[in-house]
Amino acid sequence: MAANGIDRKLWLDTFNSFGVATQTSRATQIWEAYKLDGTPAVAIDGKWMTAPSMAGSRAATLPVMDYLVVLARKERSAKK
């Protein structure tokens, strides 16, 4: 990072900070909770997950995501 003009000490202090360690730990917990086996993957509303490997291709992933977002919005509206 220092070779790219970033203060070495500041970068190391930030990288090794409590906040970064906490966020990294949380990301690992989420990864394990969703049983992710690779990236990219997207979770929708904490209920559904999709990825190119699940949708069949990268091109099919966005329409699946759109469908799941619409479904999540319908479910939330029904609860009101």
Length of the chain: 80
Task: Show Cβ contacts of residue 39 under 8 Å, excluding neighbours closer than 6 positions.
Answer: 51
pLDDT digits (tens, 9 = 90+) for 23-44: 999 999 988 888 887 788 899 9
pLDDT score of 38: 79
Selection from 37-41, 43-47, 70-74, 75-79 with the highest mean pLDDT: 70-74
Looking at residues 63-70, what average pLDDT do you find? 96
CB 44 within 8 A of CB 69: yes
pLDDT band at 1 (very low <50, low <70, confident <90, very high): confident
